[in-house]
Structure 1
Amino acid sequence: MRSIGWASLAAIVLALTLTPPAHASPATDLPTRNTRYVTRDGSRLTLDGEPFRFAGTNIYWLGLDENVGGVAYPTFFRIRDALDTAKAMGMTVVRSHMLTSTGNPLSILPAKDKGFNEAAFATVDYAIAYAGSIGLRLVLPLTDEWSYYHGGHHDFTDPYGLPPEAFYTDQRVIADYQAYAGHLMRRVNPLTGRAYNADPTIMAWELGNELEGMTPGWINANAAVFRQWAPRQLIAAGRRFDIDPDTLAAPGVDIVDVHYYPPTAARVAADAATVTGAGKVYLAGEYASTAAGAELLTPLAADPAVTGMMSWSLFGHHDRGGFVQHDDGFTLHYPGDDERMRASVEAQIAFAGQVSPASARPTRVGPPLITQVDKRGGLNELRWRGAAGADGYVVERAAHGGWTPAHQGTLGDGSTPWLDTEARGDVTYRVVPIGRDGRRGTPSEPVRAGRTQIVLADPLQTTDLADGHAGITLTPAGATAQGAGRVSWSRPGLRRVRFDLTGRPRVRVQVSQDGAGWRTVRHDGGDGQVSADAGGAGHVRVLWSGGTLTRATLWAADPAPVTAPPAAPAPLTPAPGSRDVLGAPAFTWSPAAGAGCYTLTVSRNADLSDPVLTVTAITGTAITGTSHTPSAALDPGATYHWRVTAVNAAGSTAGPVASFTTRPLPTRPAVVDDFTGYADTGGLASAYVRNPNGDPITPVLDAGPAMRLDYTLGAAGYAGVTRAFAPSLDLWGLKGLELRLTGTGRPVKVTVQFVTGGVYFEHTLDAVPGGAARIPFAGFDHPSWAGAGPLDLTRFDQLSIYVGGGPGAGTLTVGQVTAYPGP
């Protein structure tokens, strides 16, 4: 770590001038497409004299990540893949907290007394340079209201023992914040040769993310200073929710950033009108990606006051396969993990095409990377790293000099690892990405796996797969040696190794049985590759200098070869002879020794003829575990028979047939609440708790019996109460909810919301029906601010009643609430 003492920061600030520094020579060839700045023209943005509107997203983790193995720098692949994905969706602007980086040992500024951490800039430099090379623009917050892993404004007040609100008032703290921002803005990116404040890729500097305590003086002072340091870039500001009125009046602020969880078209349009009416540029810097749809985005695309909409938040592919996962409920993957996310992705792509048509040009996707070929019962199991912009993949095998598909249809990123149950003997694979337009993209490099071999490919984005290393630095281009670098791997039974290198390196390949004593082995070289026979060693290492190591591929012996068919599995659940089995039961069975995968067959007939469910590797992803849950419910009140067959490379073995009977549909309604169990209004109020974020509402036990809700709608625009059920109610097989509703006062909308198994559902009635209202469960949907999930009516956990609309008082009386049966 190269540190700059905090005392030097004031000198850095004083040295800042209007003139950007001379450009350094770029160390990596990443020519920018952004040669001109986005500029402000009143309440609009322009580029080359034309209006500039955009679809965008948040990729907050580009500088420092929290999602893969704890807090760590993201790999260059993950940075590149996420930005490429945004580009493939037609987005032209990305907002990232990459420069909100304080208070963590890996941050740009770990602590005031430690100075700047030069190592933390590697990912930031690359993200900025790569974004420019593909024509994306960036909005970069400089600090954060919240104390997340990447730090926030408390890191500037804590050293003085001050409360967080002193960030806006204490002159020492303000000077430290400005010193930090000044250091960032003047930094020369070694990959572009440009200072950050002289790079058109950085469209705007945001004073901070969701700052709640900004004052007019603080805004004006910082905006003026930052304008001096970055005269051709824009200044943005905004708080968590709603419009900060001080940003509207601040002469130095170009963009007012507003956030929405959830957004509505009416709310966004009204805010955009307010912001542009004050002469500022409007930006929805964050909105819940779960709310993206035609209802929200189509009218906003037609509204010129809406300059940009930026969803929260995009994640790309994992280095080894599949996607990087995040758990805040708003994670976005392309092309989407489920139907709801796919609809969100499609809506954002459509919005991008409407506001910036030139961005919606399809590009060729690929290549993926086969990262591993393992064995399961002697069968080949492939893992691959996906390609940005791929809608799916086709795994192909080489056959008689040509390539043929190894499965039916296409596979998604969630299909890796994929098990090949058909191939026997030596086989060569490649993975072909399929683009949004249905065209084949660039295939992965072929990988050959022998009948008794497993394969590991390490693209050296991290050193996690290595057993040891020394003298190397990971760069966007690969692992470079500092003098003499080396990397070693531990794999029992290594047979062959291959190393891909660029430049003209001097190379030695060594093997070892114990990882202590090494011997050099003969290697062959050519076309940027070095190969060697490992002779069954347990360890291998490569030593090189004068070049770049970009990949290592290791072939090793199958650690558990099979010579006979597997044992027979035994059925576990549904237990043989069980009754009242619900819906789509989880089929489970005992593991069978030697099995590579399993086939499940379910039928209404004892001989398993005319099966209603057959799951094999041919019909979909192979079952490699010992359970399977069908996607559709079985018929109620019926007897089923099922069997599991274990499969490996030497054959298959069927288990016994088991039978069970499903629960019949209920024929009578179930009471959710008839309001007879409450002694008085106090008991009712303790069960039905008011939402504290909403307007005032009071439950009263009324004649009937019934619950009367007395409400006064005001600033929040909604009011509601919630009852939790412990234990959960079992409403399986019932068709919907029936509520008896009557109201007085001004017209309102009524929202009925419930939770099953932790998943929220709701339905809104446009008016009080004045009697019984039947709402089928199929008519409920997830709220835009909530995550998706299954409707598990066996765990009905919570019921909420909300009223909403303009200001005014009234009452809503809720009579008996039941769940009614079909027809």
Structure 2
Amino acid sequence: MTRKKKQVAVALVIAVMVVSLQRRVFDGLRGRGFVQVRGLQLMLNGEPFFAHGFNAYWLMAVAAEPSQRPKVSAAFRRGSALGLAIARIWAFSDGSHGNSSALQISPGVYDERVFQGLDFVVAEARRYGIRLILSLANNYDSFGGKAQYVSWARSGGRDLPDDDAFFIDPLARLFYKNNAKAVITRVNKLTGVAYRDDPAILAWELMNEPRCPSDPSGASLQSWIVEMAAHVKALDGNHLLEAGLEGFYGPTAPPERRQLDVAGGGLGADFIANNRIQDIDFATVHAYPDLWLPEREPAEKREFLERWLDAHLEDAREKLRKPLLVAEFGGSSRQRGFSMAERDAIFGAVFSRVYWSAGVGAVGAVFWQALVAGMESYGDGYELVLEELPSTTSFLIENNCRKLTHLSKRVASLRLARGSSGQPQLD
């Protein structure tokens, strides 16, 4: 064989291997379409999409070190086995902040090693049938956050009073927009698929828990969400978008709603106004009764949790007319009165509310947070090690995932039956 023929043969072998890898990666998802919104439901390939999931903010940072990538695979493998179908993760890590996992080192400058870690996360999620919510920035200074953007803007000559200037300063806004574009248009080095074209991504999140306490009127954050949501949608018409809100009500909310803001008064967020923005596809709420009401008894915390969820489900259904995802919830082992039974009671209350509101607002719940064995340093009190779940917790998760899957099939069957009989189909 001539040298040229050998080169051609090698090239063909490499091409076959790449195609094989891509097929292996793509095979995990149930259907290859993008999740969409129809009324109060998420839809996938014409069928309702209800799903529970887990938060694992650490996936990109861990995957940046190739030797640690088995932890990522283990999380997806175990999560998929439990029936979990959503993972919410950080797709940000900005500036030098004491670790080696910075994705955006300085404005527009990226560590390719960390980006390839995110490539691996997206590819593995698709392999195991997990759809991702990718958050684009942090409100807090961990992993850089809005403080890092303000610092960069100050270095660019801006005289900014505090970190909340992130929401109003044109240069800080430009830095955010440029970073969003870099992530959304990224072409995965493992699959060859741009993130904005990959169905493994369920949705983008503008920011993790955005707050602007310097403007309790809510105007600054509202303006920022309007602008950034339009920017993301202009870059990516395939994927859904949510703001990352915790669910705190603004000053325009009725008194009975404002009374629920036990931890959020004056934070500049507005659950109703922020989620009414046209480019926001679905609403989110976080739920931490033990963190927000640390001195209350367990029964009082559960009662608050139920009222908190009921209020947001009602408002999503009646005022927003958009689906609602419980994007964070959990129970901390570091809080007074903790027991696994109490944590299970929190999980049970959230799952129950989601199930009975599925199809008329609720679409799923994503607990905080999932770890795998050997990650003790990531523990924050809320962690659940997926391979070591207590039997009661495992039963709760698996049983409620099965119930939502069964409900999806029932609603799809009803839709098909009504459609074929000439009756109105469900929206």
State the TM-score, normalized to the length of structure 2: 0.70
In 1: Cα distance, 2:182 partner to 2:128 partner: 26
Equivalent position to 1:269, from 310, 319, 322: 310
Which residue matches 1:427? none
The Cα of 1:60 is off from its aligned counterpart by 0.8
SS in 1 for 2:78: helix
In 2: Cα distance, 1:83 partner to 1:292 partner: 23
Which residue matches 1:313? 369
| Letter of the structure 2 residue corresponding to residue 59 of structure 1 | A
| Letter of the structure 2 residue corresponding to residue 47 of structure 1 | L
Give identity over the alignment, percent: 24
In structure 2, the gaps of 5 or more residues are: 1-17, 155-159, 213-219, 250-270, 290-301, 332-342, 410-427
Which residue matches 2:206? 207
| Letter of the structure 2 residue corresponding to residue 333 of structure 1 | V
Q: 1:74 to 1:179 in 2, by over 3 A?
A: farther
Which residue matches 1:155? 148
Which residue matches 1:79? 72
Structure richer in helix, relative to its length: 2
In structure 1, the gaps of 5 or more residues are: 1-24, 361-823
Residue deviations 1:694-737 (CA, integer Å, cap 9, x gap)? xxxxxxxxxxxxxxxxxxxxxxxxxxxxxxxxxxxxxxxxxxxx
SS in 1 for 2:204: strand
Residue deviations 1:198-254 (CA, integer Å, cap 9, x gap)? 101111000010001262221111111111111010011133352523322211101
Q: 1:50 to 1:348 in 2, by over 3 A?
A: same
Which residue matches 1:333? 385
Q: 1:74 to 1:142 in 2, by over 3 A?
A: farther
- The 5-angstrom pairing of residues 391-406 of structure 1 reads none
In 2: Cα distance, 1:190 partner to 1:125 partner: 7
Which residue matches 1:146? 140
- The 5-angstrom pairing of residues 339-350 of structure 1 reads 341-350=390-399
Which residue matches 2:355? 301
Which residue matches 2:101? 106
Residue deviations 1:99-143 (CA, integer Å, cap 9, x gap)? 12111353111223x811111112110110011112110001100
In 2: Cα distance, 1:347 partner to 1:292 partner: 11
Residue deviations 1:746-789 (CA, integer Å, cap 9, x gap)? xxxxxxxxxxxxxxxxxxxxxxxxxxxxxxxxxxxxxxxxxxxx
The Cα of 1:195 is off from its aligned counterpart by 0.2
- The 5-angstrom pairing of residues 615-654 of structure 1 reads none
The Cα of 1:72 is off from its aligned counterpart by 6.5
| Letter of the structure 1 residue corresponding to residue 85 of structure 2 | T
- The 5-angstrom pairing of residues 722-761 of structure 1 reads none
In 1: Cα distance, 2:234 partner to 2:221 partner: 20
SS in 1 for 2:110: coil
In 1: Cα distance, 2:94 partner to 2:105 partner: 5
The Cα of 1:191 is off from its aligned counterpart by 1.3
In 1: Cα distance, 2:347 partner to 2:317 partner: 24
The Cα of 1:152 is off from its aligned counterpart by 1.1
In 2: Cα distance, 1:79 partner to 1:53 partner: 24
SS in 2 for 1:110: strand
Q: 1:73 to 1:324 in 2, by over 3 A?
A: farther
| Letter of the structure 1 residue corresponding to residue 173 of structure 2 | I
- The 5-angstrom pairing of residues 342-421 of structure 1 reads 342-357=391-406
Structure richer in strand, relative to its length: 1
Which residue matches 1:226? 232
- The 5-angstrom pairing of residues 248-263 of structure 1 reads 248-262=275-289
SS in 1 for 2:104: coil
| Letter of the structure 2 residue corresponding to residue 352 of structure 1 | C
Which residue matches 1:283? 325
In 2: Cα distance, 1:31 partner to 1:326 partner: 28
Are 2:127 and 1:133 equivalent residues in the alignment?
yes
Tell me if the contact between 2:60 and 2:118 (Cα under 8 Å) persists in the aligned partners: yes
Residue deviations 1:464-490 (CA, integer Å, cap 9, x gap)? xxxxxxxxxxxxxxxxxxxxxxxxxxx
Residue deviations 1:568-607 (CA, integer Å, cap 9, x gap)? xxxxxxxxxxxxxxxxxxxxxxxxxxxxxxxxxxxxxxxx
SS in 1 for 2:106: coil
Tell me if the contact between 1:156 and 1:167 (Cα under 8 Å) persists in the aligned partners: yes
SS in 1 for 2:371: coil
Question: Aligned-pair RMSD on alpha carbons?
Answer: 2.5
SS in 1 for 2:286: strand
Which residue matches 2:40? 43
Which residue matches 1:245? 272
Larger Rg: 1
Tell me if the contact between 2:47 and 2:408 (Cα under 8 Å) persists in the aligned partners: no
Residue deviations 1:404-458 (CA, integer Å, cap 9, x gap)? xxxxxxxxxxxxxxxxxxxxxxxxxxxxxxxxxxxxxxxxxxxxxxxxxxxxxxx
The Cα of 1:358 is off from its aligned counterpart by 9.2
Which residue matches 2:176? 177
State the TM-score, normalized to the length of structure 1: 0.37
The Cα of 1:58 is off from its aligned counterpart by 0.2
The Cα of 1:73 is off from its aligned counterpart by 7.3
SS in 2 for 1:302: helix
The Cα of 1:171 is off from its aligned counterpart by 0.9
| Letter of the structure 1 residue corresponding to residue 316 of structure 2 | V
| Letter of the structure 2 residue corresponding to residue 155 of structure 1 | Q
In 2: Cα distance, 1:312 partner to 1:73 partner: 25
Aligned length: 322
Tell me if the contact between 1:74 and 1:123 (Cα under 8 Å) persists in the aligned partners: no
SS in 1 for 2:211: coil
The Cα of 1:336 is off from its aligned counterpart by 3.6
| Letter of the structure 2 residue corresponding to residue 199 of structure 1 | D
- The 5-angstrom pairing of residues 488-499 of structure 1 reads none
The Cα of 1:299 is off from its aligned counterpart by 4.0
